[in-house]
Structure 1
Amino acid sequence: MLGLLRGIWSYRQFIIDSIRNDFANRFARSRFGFIWMVAQPLAMVLVYALILSEILAARLPGIDNQYAYAIYLSAGFLAWTLFFELLNRTLTLFIDNANLIKKMRFPRIALPIIVMGTGLINNVILFIAILGVFAVLGHLGGSELLWIVPMMLLTAALALGFGLILGVLNVFIRDVGQFVTIVLQFWFWLTPIVYPLVIVPEEYRHLFHYNPLFPIVNAYQNILVYGHSPSVASLLPTAILALCLLIVGLLLFRKASPEMSDAL
C-alpha cells in the first residue's frame, strides 16, 4: 500500500500534466468548451423540470420559490453527475488505456487518480454554474455551501471505490461493464433525485437507507435546497463503506496488476 502511495507521489507531475492535457484535448478547437461541459447536465435539469415541475413542485415543503423543483433537481444532479462520471470512466479505464499500460512504465494507480482529478474539476465548474443559476432564480445560499467540498470528496471516494473494483474485474470479465451500465440506470431511479422521498409510500421509505448514494444526495439537497448543514451521523456509514471499498479496490488492483497486461 505504501508503495502505491510513493508511486503516486513520484509521478505527481505526470498526473497533473495528464489532467491538464485531458482538458486541453477536450476543448481543442472549441470556442465554448466550458459551456458545453455544464450544458448537458443543466439541459437535463431543464427537461425534467419542464415535464415534472407541475406534478411535484407542490410536494416540496420548505422552499418558498416558484422554481423550487428545478432547484431540487439541480442539487441531486450535481451529486449524481460526479458519481456517475467517476464510476463510468473508471469502469473502462484500464481497457481504454491498454496501449499506454503495455508500452509505458508508470504506476498504473495514477490512472484512476487522473480520472478523479478531472471529475472533481468538472464538478466544481458545474457547481459554480449552478450557483449562478440559483442567483438568477433568487435562491442564494450561505456558509452551509462550504459543506459541498467534503461532500464532493465523499462522493468521489465512493465512486472511485466501486469503480476501481469493477474496473479491475472488467479487464478479466468484460460482462461486468455491460452489467454495471444497466445497474446504473436502475440506481439513478432508485435514488431520490428527480422525485422527493415524501412521494414514496411510507412503508417503503426505509429501503432507501440501504442505498449508499441516498445519504449523499440527501446531503446535497439539504445544503443547496434547504440551506441546512448535512447530518454527519447519516453520512458516517457511507464514509466507512467508501473507505472499505477503496482499500479492497487497492488490494485487488495490486494483486491483479501484474496480470493486466496479458489480459488486455
Structure 2
Amino acid sequence: MFGMLSSLWDYRGFILSSIRNEFFARFARSKLGGLWMIIHPLSQVAIYALVLSNVIQAKLPDIDHSYAYALYLMAGIVAWNLFSDIIGRYLTLFIEQGNLMKKMKFPRITLPAVVLGSALLNNLLLIISLVVVFALMGQKITPEILWLIPLVLVTTALATGIGLVLGILNVFVRDIGQVVPIVMQVWFWLTPIIYPVSVIPEKFKGSMAYNPMFPIVSAYQDILVYNKAPDYMSIAWIAAISIVLMAFGLFLFRRAAPEMVDVL
C-alpha cells in the first residue's frame, strides 16, 4: 500500500497532466465545451420533472418550494452521477489501456488515479453549477453544504472499491462488461432518486438497508433540499464499508496487475 502511495507521488506530474489532457480532449472541437457536463444531467432532470412532477410532487414531505421535485431530482442525480461515472470508467479502463500496460513500464496504479481525478473534477464542476442553479431557483444555500465534502469522499471510496473489482474481473471475464450496465440501471431505479422513500410500500422499505447508495443519496437530498445535516451514523457505517471495499479493490489490483498484462 505504501509503495502505491509513493508511486502516486513520484508520478504526480504525469497524473495531473493526464487529467488535464483528458478533460480538454473530451470537449475538443465542441462549441459549448465543458457546458455539456452540465447540460446532460440537467436535461435528464428536465425529462423526469416534466414526466413525473405532477405524480410525485404532492408526495414530497416537508418541501414548500415551487421547484421542489426538480431540486429533489438534482440532489439525487449529482450523487448518482459520481458513483456511476467512476464505476463505468473503471469497468473498461484496463481493457482500453491494455496496449499501454504491455508496452510501457510505469506504476499501474496511476491509471486508476487518472480516472479518479478526472471523475472528481467533473463532479466538482457539476456541484458548483448545481449550487448556482439552486440559487437561481430561490433555494437557500446553508453551511450544511460543507457536508458534501465528506460525502463525495465516501461516494468516491465506495465506487472505487466496486469499480476496481469489476474492472479487474472484466479483463478475465468479458461478460462482466455486458452485465454491469444492466445492474447499474436496475440499481438506479431501486434507489430513491426520482421518487421519495414515502412512496415505497412498507414491506419493501426494509430492503433499503442493503442498498449502500440509499444513505448517500438521502444525505445529498438532506443537505441540498432540506438544508439539514445528514444522519451521522448511517454515513459513518457506509464510510467504513467503503474503506474496506476500496482497500480490497487496491489489494486485488496489486495482485492481479501482472496477470492482467498477460491476458491483455
- 2:28 matched residue in structure 1: 28
- 1:244 matched residue in structure 2: 244
TM-score normalised to the size of structure 2?
0.98
Distance across 1 between alignment mates of 2:113 and 2:249: 13
Letter in 2 for 1:39: I
Matched, 1:91 2:97: no
Q: CA deviation at 1:31?
A: 2.7
- 1:176 matched residue in structure 2: 176
Deviation per residue, 1:130-169 (Å, 9 max, x gap): 1121112111211001111111111111101100111111
Matched, 1:232 2:232: yes
Q: Secondary structure at the match of 1:226?
A: coil
What aligned pairs does 1:32-181 form with structure 2 within 5 A after superposition?
32-181=32-181
Q: CA deviation at 1:203?
A: 2.1
Letter in 2 for 1:223: I
Structure 2 residue ranges without an equivalent (≥5):
none
Q: Secondary structure at the match of 2:140?
A: coil
Letter in 1 for 2:75: A
TM-score normalised to the size of structure 1?
0.98
Letter in 1 for 2:102: K
- 1:263 matched residue in structure 2: 263
Q: CA deviation at 1:177?
A: 1.3
Distance across 1 between alignment mates of 2:218 and 2:259: 40
Deviation per residue, 1:92-138 (Å, 9 max, x gap): 11001111111121111111111111111111111111112111211
The CA RMSD over aligned residues, in Å, is 0.9
Letter in 1 for 2:37: M
Q: Secondary structure at the match of 1:92?
A: helix
Distance across 2 between alignment mates of 1:80 and 1:17: 27
Distance across 2 between alignment mates of 1:166 and 1:34: 29
Distance across 1 between alignment mates of 2:204 and 2:210: 11
Distance across 1 between alignment mates of 2:65 and 2:20: 39
The runs of 4+ residues in structure 1 deviating greater than 2 Å are: none
Distance across 2 between alignment mates of 1:32 and 1:99: 32
Letter in 1 for 2:223: I
Q: CA deviation at 1:261?
A: 1.3
Distance across 2 between alignment mates of 1:2 and 1:124: 28
Q: Secondary structure at the match of 2:120?
A: helix
Structure 1 residue ranges without an equivalent (≥5):
none
Distance across 1 between alignment mates of 2:30 and 2:70: 29
- 2:193 matched residue in structure 1: 193
Matched, 1:217 2:255: no
Distance across 2 between alignment mates of 1:23 and 1:179: 28
Q: How many residues align?
A: 264
Identity of aligned residues (%): 53
Distance across 1 between alignment mates of 2:176 and 2:237: 26
Distance across 2 between alignment mates of 1:101 and 1:242: 27
Distance across 1 between alignment mates of 2:113 and 2:140: 33
- 2:208 matched residue in structure 1: 208
Distance across 2 between alignment mates of 1:164 and 1:236: 22
Distance across 2 between alignment mates of 1:256 and 1:21: 28
Distance across 2 between alignment mates of 1:250 and 1:136: 42
Q: Secondary structure at the match of 2:225?
A: helix
Distance across 1 between alignment mates of 2:166 and 2:92: 9
Q: CA deviation at 1:22?
A: 0.5
